[in-house]
Chains A and B, each alone.
Chain A
Amino acid sequence: MILKNNTRKQFLAMFCQAMKPASIMAILALICFLFLTSFAFGTYEPDYYRETAHFFDELRWNGIEDMANLAFIGAGVLNAMLCFNFAWSKKQANVVLSLGMKKSDIYFAKILGGIVPMGVAITLAGVIETIANVSGNYIVNGRFFAMAAFTMLQYLVIYILSFVLSSAVMANTGNVVEGIIFTGVIALLPMTLKSFLVNTFWQFTHGAYIAPKSNVYVPEWNWSDPFEAFANFDYSFMSTYFEQDNTVLPSVIHWSGVIMAAIYAVVIVLLGYLGFKKRRNEICGTWGRAKGMNEIVAAVTGFYASYLIGLYIFSLSHGDSGILTYIICCVSFLVAYVVFKMIFGYKRKKEVMASFSRFPVYAMGLAAVFMVFSLGLFGYSSKVPEADEIKSVSVSSPYYKAMDEGFAGSSEFALKLSLMENYAVFPELDGTMYSGGVLESPKITYTDYQDIEKAVDIHKSFVRDGKIKNNGAHSCASNVIITYTLKNGKEITRYYTEATEGTTLKLLTLNDSDELNRVLFDYLNNGLDFNYYREIAINKNEDGYLDLDTYTEKYGEDYPDTETYEWFSSDFSYSLSSMAYLAQKPCYIFPTDMSTGYKLGYIEKELYDAIATDLKNLSANQYFNHSAEDEIGVLSFGLSDSTYMSWGVSGEVVYADKYTTDTENENSPDGTFHKTSWNINSFDIKAIVVTKDMKNTIAYLEEHDLMKHFERKLNVDDVKSVKLATMSELCDGNYENSEIFPIFYGAFWTGEQMDEWVKENSINHYYYRMFDHIHNEITDKAQIEKLLGEGVIFGYCASDSRIMEITYEDGSVATVMVAQTTT
């Protein structure tokens, strides 16, 4: 009985023993927190501090936050080393394990002893910071406490996770080196596993709605990676706009991260205990004899290798070589696994031989994973609901006319000869992949049954296409997200980055839906206060910044601080919608030969309304498949703003007379100028191709005698030669067809400019070098004249349409498209 009664005393003693080393770190943490509190309250301007609530703002300063996180992670590892040092010291094990305590008591006493001091220190620091706020009459309200609780819990959870994971590993290994390395390997597992699932899902299935580095699928609950909640949290905004903006407060994704971290911590503690209970104590102080842990970490290391190398190979082979990828995955796994066993094995030769005998099991596991994903999760990924089941469907597509990417501008990956970017993927450890894909396409929600049927048909078309060969002649980029809301309340989301030509053509037909045209019209008219934006633009000073007086008068109340003003005045225009661009940028009129332009200036509301009405009324066919005869010219916005010129973004626009200023242009007698080069779809340039179907626009232009500026200046006599090539031929290994949106935008460069590029060895060489490997040069004037008559500067580029490079006698080069039907 006495012995039983003493158990609690022993537990307490062991707990106190563990608290001793853990207290050192806790005291250090408390000192750091106290320093921050005294620094903040002793340094800051009281008035500034009283404007908004503050809670350890300094921890959110650049770099400090990462340092703090790292410090807590490091403290967790270090304390685990100190608390569980008996696990890797024979001498200590003799003492601790002969004490007459249950292993469970030893383990849990150590765990608690490691956590409590830091918990006390963090809580104390939070309380002191709160008291400092209260005593200084600073803002302390509900939001303050929400932020305070989240901030302190965040650090506590980071510490606890780090500590319990390290402890669980240390308690089950034989020496400190193994303990640290194994902890590191296992710590990477959640994020790697998440990355693996996302990327494997992405690479193997068609229609995966979780995509690397995309916003396609953002779960509300942070299941996978507790640290992600902290990483994603916008701390910088939290304090600045604390009083104004509710959205910056911790939300479900953040709190769920904390909750999941706590749950994971409990699971880790229990797993660690189960292992510790079964652990053979004779491994204390030995190398490579923690068999269970050794095997787990070896397998995890093998998994890392197979995933990283396998996925890399898979992405290099563009998803075509599933079997090869599997073999490479297996080989990578085996190599990493065997190497690990050679390093961490107790009897290396024997362990290595055993590795080979165990390998088939792992290979079968890998095969099972490959099978499951290759089969599209047994058909799950290719499931298409029936139209009758669907309440509404939203389709996010880059092919919507005149809306963001569908607008004649800013489609980074559309087929344009000025810029083609590869977006090859490579996995990163944080679960993301680099991808240059454009994901933020406009989204329209359809509720009309016919529209729903059309969307279902498009989806079925995607499913029929299956995995598309990236370099297939009839494949192209799609970036389409289809989200169904079923009548039973469920949601189904699918995401497709590439499509066949047939599917793309179906996608284009969505432009004819009443819903889209209604949304488009609202977007063009109701969604924009034209005069508001125009006034902003006109009031900019010559440096491109807003006039301060105008700014202060109009917007000062909304954006009170200087920093915000700077942001507003310099970058605000870029955050505007596409249509605001039309209000903010001076308009230029170009003919279809694109050789000369006329500066119209800021457009009137009347012209804007005419354009908006016409865009709404244009059918998909009129918009994307108009003929050369229908094409009248281009209204371009964004060319003349010197501020944005200096950004030097892709699709550089260079003005006539070598970077002449706006002022000089404006001073020219008739407003016309000669440019050296331009293309109509640069990143910062929006353009509208005017066709005969745009009756209202034409009416306005005629009324204001502006149609004359559409007159072509160059004709067949000025042309030296032309070359023709399909999109596929132009890609020629540099880019995959599926990386390119099949929307063509024309371009023009003067010979002078091209000479300069050659001289400067500029990257822009690529603009015209794309045709270097095309040798079908046509010089026959009759043929050229016919082709010129068929060339369009904007439209859908079918797989057998031809891109035509026109080389003029003066060395200028233009690219237009000759549609399939007319060649």
Chain B
Amino acid sequence: MIKVSNVTKTFDDFTAIDNLSLEVNNSSIYGLVGYNGAGKTTLLKMIAGVYVPDCGSIEIDGVDLFAHPEKKQELFYVPDDLYFGLSSSMKSMAKYYKSFYPNFCMETFHKLAGLFGLDINKKIMGFSKGMQRQAEMVLGLSTLPKAILLDESFDGLDPAKRNLTKKLLLDYMADKECSILISSHNLHELADMCDHIALMNGKSIAIDCAVDDMNGSRCKFRLVYTENIDQNIFKGIEYKNYKTDGKIVSFTVSKNLDEAERIIAATNPVIIERFPLSLEEIFLEEMEDTDYDFEKLFS
């Protein structure tokens, strides 16, 4: 289990992460979503032990990572920027990792490399970007980690390899009761893979909940009236994204959905439509009040 407690990280006078906490349980895939610069990579690097938090703690299976750095031998970090030696092959990298990760399994390595169709004797620098990602994934899984950190790791993978990787991760997670923390911009990718999603909204986590809970927790109402109405009639509803086009009104609601529907019904609309929000819509909704307010930007 990965447990991040009240972690803060600043770069000079810029606070990248502010008092952030999260937990990734065993046998769980935790998706981390956020706009560019939201702090996803910083968070992953802290968990990987590359960055040291200014305060707070990071634990793997209850062991503080910075007090016991050897615990990182049970964790594998696949960064966004991959690094391989100039003349390294997968085989030589496997040897390299084998000396640093006690659980490294050569058998698994060979099997996985075969599964991806990668030549382990070929120089990795000669691989395509996608193949390099596959290679890193193979090497990472071969260390048989209890926790995996993946930073935009599906970038550059073709759909087939992407599905293969997803499947592998799901199988591995289920088999080894592993904790997987994965950051991505691709919400669809995370939606069908993660059991838990966190939205990073600059410095902190705006939403942190199970994917199942998220589905249906928010919805969008579309209402049609016979005449123009005053927005104040929705007093009592916590709504967002209010839009009106004459007699047609739409907005999203994230709390007390049934109560909201009762209030709406009392306003006598001609039509009431209630749609569940997709993950992407939830993401955009959360982002709306922050930095990316395009309407304000171009008004």
Instruction: Show the binding face of A for B, using Cβ within 8 Å.
Output: 2-4, 6-7, 9-10, 12-14, 16-17, 89-95, 97-103, 280-282, 289, 346-347
Contact = CB atoms under 8 A, between A and B. Distances in A.
A3 B103 CA distance: 10
B12 A10 contact: no
A3 B102 contact: yes
B45 interface: yes
Contacts of A289: 12
A109 to B, nearest CB: 11
B83 A92 contact: yes
A281 B72 contact: no
B232 to A, nearest CB: 48
Contacts of A10: 73, 99-100
Interface stretch (B48-56, B110-118, B265-273, B283-291): B48-56
Task: Give the secondary structure class of A's interface.
Answer: helix
Contacts of B102: 2-3, 6, 9
B69 A101 contact: yes
Interface centre among A89, A99, A100 (most CB of B within 10 A): A100
A98 B81 contact: no
Contacts of B51: 280-282
B160 interface: no
A289 to B, nearest CB: 8
A101 B71 CA distance: 9
A90 B99 contact: no
21 contacts: A2-B102, A3-B71, A9-B99, A10-B99, A12-B99, A13-B96, A13-B99, A92-B83, A94-B81, A97-B49, A98-B48, A98-B77, A100-B49, A100-B70, A100-B75, A102-B70, A280-B52, A281-B51, A281-B52, A289-B12, A346-B12
B79 A91 contact: yes
Contacts of B71: 3, 100
Given A98-B48, A98-B77, A280-B52, A91 B83 contact: yes
A98 B99 contact: no
Nearest 9 CB-CB pairs, A to B?
A: A13-B99, A100-B72, A91-B83, A100-B73, A98-B48, A94-B79, A6-B102, A3-B70, A98-B77
Interface centre among A3, A97, A99 (most CB of B within 10 A): A99
Contacts of A90: 81
Interface in B88-128: 96, 99-102
Contacts of B48: 94, 97-98
B50 A99 contact: no
Given A9-B99, A14-B100, A100-B101, 4 more contacts: A13-B100, A91-B79, A98-B77, A282-B51
Contacts of B74: 3, 100
A97 B44 CA distance: 13
Contacts of B298: none
B144 to A, nearest CB: 12
A94 B73 contact: no
Contacts of A2: 102
Contacts of B69: 100-103
B99 to A, nearest CB: 3
B45 A4 contact: no
Contact of B73 (A3, A12, A89): A3
B294 interface: no
A78 to B, nearest CB: 16
A7 B70 contact: yes
Contacts of B297: none
Nearest to B100: A99
B70 A6 contact: yes
A95 B82 CA distance: 9
Nearest to A3: B70
A106 to B, nearest CB: 10
B146 to A, nearest CB: 11
Contact of A94 (B11, B50, B72, B96): B50
A98 B72 contact: yes
A89 B45 CA distance: 14
A573 B21 CA distance: 88
A820 B82 CA distance: 89
Contact of B82 (A91, A98, A281): A91
Contacts of A3: 70-71, 73-74, 102
Nearest to A94: B79
Contacts of A103: 69
Most chain B Cβ neighbours within 10 Å, of A101, A289, A346: A101
Nearest to B97: A99
A613 to B, nearest CB: 84
Nearest to A289: B12
A90 B69 CA distance: 19
Contacts of A102: 69-70
Nearest to A92: B83
A2 B70 CA distance: 10
Contacts of A6: 70, 73, 102
Nearest to B101: A100
B60 to A, nearest CB: 10
B139 to A, nearest CB: 10
A97 B72 CA distance: 10
Contact of B49 (A13, A98, A280): A98
B103 to A, nearest CB: 9
Contacts of A347: 12
A289 B11 CA distance: 10
B26 to A, nearest CB: 18
Contacts of A7: 70
Contacts of B73: 3, 6, 10, 99-100
Given A3-B73, A6-B70, A94-B50, A101 B81 contact: no
A94 B100 contact: no
A100 to B, nearest CB: 3
Contact of B50 (A17, A281, A346): A281
Contacts of A282: 11, 51
A290 to B, nearest CB: 12
A99 B48 CA distance: 9
A95 B83 contact: yes
B53 to A, nearest CB: 11
A95 B52 CA distance: 15
A346 B13 CA distance: 12
A94 B83 contact: yes
Interface in B195-212: none
Contact of A98 (B12, B50, B96): B50
Contacts of A100: 49, 69-75, 100-101
